[in-house]
Chain A
Amino acid sequence: MTLQQELATSPSAKLSVKDVSKTFHTRGGRVQALDRISLNVNEGEFVCLVGPSGCGKSTLLNIIAGLETPDEGTVQTDGQPILGPGRDRMVMFQEPALFPWLDVFSNVMFGLKLKPGLSTAERKEVAQYYLKLVGLESFQHANIHELSGGMKQRVTLARAMAPNPRVLLMDEPFAALDALTREQLYGDLQRIWQERRKTIIFVTHNVREAACLGDRVVLFSPHPGRIREEFRVSLPRPRDINSVDLAEHATEIMRALKGHLRNSEVQE
């Protein structure tokens, strides 16, 4: 594959999660993190998983990433079962997880070097392209500790995008950032997503964030983790987190979420 093709094509994948259950055995006893979860995600769709902590949304993300295996059920990308971590599904964690022994550029190169079919020169150009996409081309030789929290997450995004995955899995990537930086990154992420159309699964407990970013918002409730309800958000993009329309959607979703939480408490 030539460089032009590599940059011109941006594949994305269909995801299908079917009857997935997962139980953790801890010292305090059994915790059912996921209870027969089923979810279908279209190619290039941006889906946000929302719920309070302990609802299993991160577990589901890790299962899709191949970092954990479900006790029951199947997960497929484009009809292929997921057997382990793979380059087609990149993950962004809440912590930046950038390697401090490498500079910014080498961090982005890390995943690219593991991708076959490109020459070193092409890999370097791809890395440049993505650093530019996140607006950090002038920081390529910076050390990780010299970056702010927001810049670190941008580098992480570039590193995750660089091998051109079909799916991007994001686990509360902006939760540790200040509000202003976060707003900037909402804008950047939407712009990059519109440019590179990846299938994105985005885990968050921030309803407004979910409404701002997602085509679809999936509500989870905890103990055991179950999907309760789905909302489609069809506001035009790019969306502003502070807009009134968005606030209305977020309020509606929040109300639903609170209702489900009350119900699950009553059941217990």
Chain B
Amino acid sequence: MKRLLTALFFFAALLAAWQIVVLSKVWSPVLVPSPASVGRYLWGALRDGTLEGSVLVTMKRLGLGYLIGLAVGVPLGMITAQFRPVRDTLGVLALGLQGLPSVCWVPLALLWFGQSEGAMLFVVVMGTLWSVILATESGVRNVNPIYVRAARTMGSRRLHTWVQVIMPASLPFIVSGMKQGWAFAWRSLMAAEIFVTILTGFGLGQLLHYGRELNAMDQVIGIMVVIVFIGLLADKVLFSPWESFLHRRWGTAK
């Protein structure tokens, strides 16, 4: 409760400071709109459904691409950890491509897929995949071999050992890889949406882009607030439960 109040107080103070800057009229209201006008824009966008629609479009792109990235990345990471030739080839490739800022995939995706959902999906998958492969690989390679030996003496074999021992044992690594993959995918999708208009759906990035075109600073800031909010929500809903479970079980919490 005290922590909640502290946070509330902090954000209220932030808003107040913003309002004071606006009232002091140092900058034009076109460049620094008031909190109220940003709120009005958001309320309007919420009422006429633009906000809801674009959040859905963006989350669908992100969610689908992210799930594909996970579904491909985790098994590939395990294979990479298990077989040396794969580690020397795919592992090196993953390391290299993970270092590539994922927005760099956008031009290639556009040439390959055109201005389509396919291009968006491709960018998100590329943003997710390499981090997840690398995190899973290092997770699996860091599993204490004694767990596997103990499991084998209890009658655990191949698939059972992978699913019941190696996967959960490398969970701390996999979760942090998932988190990183999410962050990369989110960034690259926003960049791609700002970059290109996809006619099959306007995402948050596109709203941001049109805000700039229309010189509508209340829209630009409003959408940025929404993007920040989604990022926070994803962290709290998707990753915090995992992390607190890991901390509790492994005893790594402070």
Interface residues of A (CB under 8 A from B): 65-67, 85-87, 89-91, 93, 95, 97, 99-103, 110-111, 114-115, 143-146, 159, 163
Contact = CB atoms under 8 A, between A and B. Distances in A.
B149 to A, nearest CB: 6
Contacts of A145: 249-251
B152 A100 contact: no
Contacts of B39: none
Given A110-B151, A110-B154, A114-B156, 4 more contacts: A101-B171, A101-B249, A114-B155, A145-B249
B250 A114 contact: no
B165 A97 contact: no
B155 A93 contact: no
Contacts of B169: 99-101
17 contacts: A67-B149, A67-B152, A86-B153, A87-B154, A89-B153, A91-B153, A95-B146, A99-B147, A99-B168, A100-B250, A100-B251, A101-B169, A115-B155, A143-B249, A144-B251, A145-B251, A159-B154
B154 A93 contact: no
A93 B146 contact: yes
Given A93-B146, A99-B147, A101-B169, A85 B153 contact: yes
Nearest to A145: B251
A90 B154 contact: yes
B249 A85 contact: no
A87 B155 contact: yes
Interface of B: 144, 146-147, 149-156, 160, 164-165, 168-169, 171, 248-251
A65 B249 CA distance: 29
B39 to A, nearest CB: 45
Contacts of A110: 151, 154, 156, 164
B155 A97 contact: no
Nearest to A146: B251
A144 B171 CA distance: 16
A90 B152 CA distance: 10
Contact of A114 (B160, B249, B251): B160
A111 B154 CA distance: 5
A258 B169 CA distance: 43
Contacts of B150: 91, 93, 97
A155 to B, nearest CB: 12
